[in-house]
Amino acid sequence: MGSPRWLFVALTLGSISLAVAACGSRPSRAGRTPFQTHMAVHYERTAEIHDALVKGVLAQARPAAGWISTHQETRRIPEGSGHFDALMRHYARQVFETSDLRAAFEATAQMGRTCGDCHRANGVTAAPALMASPPPAGGDPKGEMALHVWAARRMWDGLVGPDDRAWEEGSQALTRGWLQVNQVVSSPQDRERVRSLLQTVYDIGSRGPAAADPQERARLYGEFLATCADCHRLTGAVIR
Ligand code: HEC
Ligand code: HEC
């Protein structure tokens, strides 16, 4: 298949691991300019950050965040777009330096927005990966998690693209959850907390499709990432 490799970089957690390219040290893949190849590496490395954060493991996000904030590949940045590059690095550095997971979610969301802003300014859409339809509704908590993973990935593609359709589909999927609190926690106190997290997910899903402003999208996306880590902590879910 001739599709670029980044199409296959799944943000899916678990069995699918990310193949990380060493930037700059290899010849560009057939038919792509060096800059395109470089962008594909950006995509892969931000996927690493995203994966680590939804697991709630900030330390695993650091290598990629550090790389994005410091890598020396500024030669081919489109003229007039240097400030986007600087901003992207700024947010990546925040992810690298912070020890606060929530701050990392917000910075990651802002970083994704900055990718999208530079693409928009240059009339580019980083076409989102071809994705299967969202997983079917119903079933056990793992099924709903597959829906969350799907939605998070689609929203990220929407932010980075920028791609309205990906954004709308991803956020809309969040209104289709079916998880019941008593499936995942038992104490009344925990139930209340999980209920409130599920409500947050639902609210993000209902507001998402109408949110056209990139800042608003970044905010919703950051909030969504925060629910993953909060709920996993509460329920003791182990994410590999
Ligand atoms: C300074 C501007 C700028 C920033 C910042 C930027 N990009 Fe890009 N990106 C571009 C341009 C311009 C292209 C189109 C390159 C071309 O087709 O020649 C592009 C293309 C892409 C592509 C498509 C590559 C291909 O194979 O055609 C992907 C994927 C991508 N960017 C991901 C990202 C991600 C992820 C980030 C943020 C971490 C990011 N970009 C930040 C300017 C930028
Ligand atoms: C309302 C609570 C809740 C929220 C919100 C939540 N999760 Fe989960 N997650 C769980 C629980 C509970 C499990 C353990 C499920 C099990 O093993 O049966 C889990 C497990 C997982 C797993 C492992 C599934 C498997 O097959 O072993 C993944 C992946 C996952 N969550 C991703 C996410 C992502 C990504 C988000 C946010 C975008 C998210 N979750 C938000 C409760 C939640």
> Domain residue spans in the chain?
5-235
Q: Which atom of ligand 1 is nearest to the CA of 68?
A: 38
Statement: residue 17 has pLDDT above 50: no
Cα 54 to ligand 2 centroid, rounded to whole Å: 9
Statement: residue 132 has pLDDT above 70: yes
Statement: residue 2 has pLDDT above 50: no
- Summarize the confidence of residues 227-236 as an average pLDDT: 89
What CA–CA distance (Å, rounded) separates 203 from 214?
Answer: 18
pLDDT at 36: 86
Q: Whose CA is nearest to atom 14 of ligand 2?
A: 237
pLDDT at 74: 60
Statement: residue 83 has pLDDT above 90: yes
Q: Taking a C-beta distance cutoff of 8 angstroms, is the pair 220, 204 a contact?
A: yes
Ligand 1 lined by 217 (C-beta under 6 Å)? no
- Nearest listed ligand to the Cα of residue 73: 1
pLDDT at 29: 54
Q: Whose CA is nearest to atom 19 of ligand 2?
A: 237
To test ligand 2's pocket by mutation, which of 105, 190, 232 has the most ligand atoms within 8 angstroms of CB?
Answer: 232
Q: Taking a C-beta distance cutoff of 8 angstroms, is the pair 126, 160 a contact?
A: yes
CA distances from 141 to 11, 36, 45, 61, 158 (A): 19, 38, 28, 26, 25
- The predicted model scores a pTM of 0.87
For tokens 């409500």, the residue is 199
pLDDT at 137: 76
CA distances from 234 to 13, 104, 171, 197, 220 (A): 19, 19, 23, 10, 21
Cα 126 to ligand 1 centroid, rounded to whole Å: 6
What CA–CA distance (Å, rounded) separates 19 from 46?
Answer: 12
Cα 163 to ligand 1 centroid, rounded to whole Å: 13
pLDDT at 86: 93
Query: Which distant-in-sequence residues (6+ apart) come within 8 Å of 223 by Cβ?
Result: 105, 200, 204
Q: Which atom of ligand 1 is nearest to the CA of 81?
A: 1
Q: Which of 195, 164, 158 has its CA nearest to residue 177?
A: 195
What mean pLDDT is reported for the chain? 83
pLDDT at 25: 31
- Nearest listed ligand to the Cα of residue 117: 1
- pLDDT tens digits, 90-117: 999 999 999 999 999 999 999 999 999 9
Classify 237 in phi/psi space as left (phi over 0), alpha (psi -120 to 50) or beta: beta
Q: Taking a C-beta distance cutoff of 8 angstroms, is the pair 171, 204 a contact?
A: yes
What CA–CA distance (Å, rounded) separates 170 from 108?
Answer: 17
